[in-house]
Every structure is written in C-alpha cells, then in structure tokens.
Amino acid sequence: MLARKLVAEYLGSLLLAALVIGSGIAAQRLSPGDVGLELTENAAATAAGLFAIILMFGPISGAHFNPVVSFVDAALGGLSWRHALAYLPVQVVGCVSGAVLANLMFGASAVSIATTHRATAAHGLAEVVATIGLILIIFALVRTGRAAQAPAAVGAYIGAAYWFTSSTSFANPAITIGRMFSNSFAGIAPSSAPLYLGAQIVGGVLAVLLVRYLYPAPGPTPNAAIDAVPTEATKSA
C-alpha cells in the first residue's frame, strides 16, 4: 500500500535528518573547538543510527530516505516510477522536518539557516564519489541476493565516508536540503547546496551505469533498494 510506504519514508527521512543534525549539534556542544572529535562523534552516531532506522522501515518502504536511491531503484526496475516520484517530496519534507526537530530538541530556534559554505570543486568531486559508493554498496548486495546485509553495510559505508570524502558524504539530495535549515556543525549554506545536488545527480547516473555493467543479472530480490532484512531493509544518506 503506497500510503504506508510514504509514511515510512517520511518518518525515516525525519529520523535520518534528526540523527545527522542532532548528533552534530551535540558534538559541537560537547567538544567545542575540537573539529576532529566533533566529526568522530557525528559520524559514529550517524552510522549506528542509520543501521537502526533501515531495520525499522526497510520491510515497509525499502528504507530509501534518499531520492537518488529511489530513482536508481526505478531505473533498475526494482521500484515503479510512480512510487519513486511519490517518494521524492516525502523524503524532502521529512528531512526538513527532522532538521526542525533536531533544532528544537537542543533548545535552538526551530529554523536557522546554515552559514557553512562548502562549495568547492573538491567538495563536488567528493559528493560524486560518495554517491556512487552508496549506490554501489546497496545494489551490489541487492542484485547478488545479499540485501539482508544492507543495513549494516550502508551504516558502515556512510560512517567511513564521513572521513574519506572532503564533503563528509551527504550523498542524498533530501538530507542536503534538510541540512540547510540548521545553522550547526552539520549544516550547509543554501548557496553551497546546488553544487551538492548536481554532484549527487551525476553520481547517481554514473552509478546506474556501473551497477548495470558490474551486476547485470538481478538477484532473487526483486525490489532493488532494500527488500530484505530479516523481514527486510536498506537505504541511504
């Protein structure tokens, strides 16, 4: 039932943004001035929390929480285009709602526009790489019948990508938009967001080509971006 899937995608996207931004605010307050420690705390919380929310919503919607994942899934035949188009606004609204929730949980203004500028060529390249890696880990597992391992693998990848990419691996247009609404450690200035969004789209297109080349035959799981964690799950960040 599409309505249940949309509710799951909204709640999962909300929790994802609250997780990323809330842990960023906490890290900034608990370890002021120590950017390395702040990033470690933010990355660890995101990796662990992402694993949990994929398990939570994977059996319902596939736990995408990411328009790139949804559209790649549709391009590879695992999700209908109608559902992918329906997921998109829900994921964006969910991430914006999660940013507001995170701000409120830490006693800040409900909405504060981020001022952290991240728009350089290096950041754009990093987002292309981060997005390709995220899509490859999801669909490599799905198309080889190992989708049950996706929650842990996605959490681990995102946790690592916080460190090996200069952009700290947003790899998700919805979370990029959501993070504009919190002027915190995890925020991104609106002027920097277009570069990230464009890089994520490019990464998604390249990832489709790589998945089709490297894993041409789908595995036993037909719903390509996470249909199978104990009773199923997997996604994105």
Q: In this predicted model, what pLDDT tens digit does every residue of 66-92 receive, in sequence order?
A: 999 999 999 999 999 999 999 999 999
Q: Return the domain boundaries, the chain.
A: 2-214
Q: What confidence score (pLDDT) does residue 236 get?
A: 45
Q: Are 220 and 145 in contact (CB under 8 A)?
A: yes
Ranges of H-type helices in the chain: 2-30, 35-61, 67-75, 81-105, 121-142, 150-164, 173-178, 193-214
Rounded percentage of the chain residues whose pLDDT exceeds 70:
92
pLDDT at 132: 98
Q: Are the CB atoms for 132 and 207 separated by under 8 Å? A: yes
Assigned CATH class of 2-214: mainly alpha
Question: Could you give the CA distance from residue 232 to residue 235 in angstroms, rounded to a whole number?
Answer: 11
The structure tokens listed for 208 are: 């489709």
Residue owning tokens 């998109």: 88
Give yes or no for a contact between 167 and 196, defined as CB atoms under 8 angstroms apart. Answer: yes
In the three-class reduction of DSSP (H, G, I as helix; E, B as strand; rest coil), residue 77 is classed as coil
DSSP 3-state of 143: coil
Nearest to 224 by CA among 149, 143, 129: 143
Write out pLDDT tens, residues 175-192.
999 999 999 999 999 999
Could you read off the pLDDT of 99-127 as tens digits, one per residue? Answer: 999 999 999 999 999 999 999 999 999 99
Token code pair at residue 63 = 């736990």
Over residues 219-223, mean pLDDT: 49
Closest CA to 60 of 6, 105, 119, 13: 6
pTM of the model: 0.90
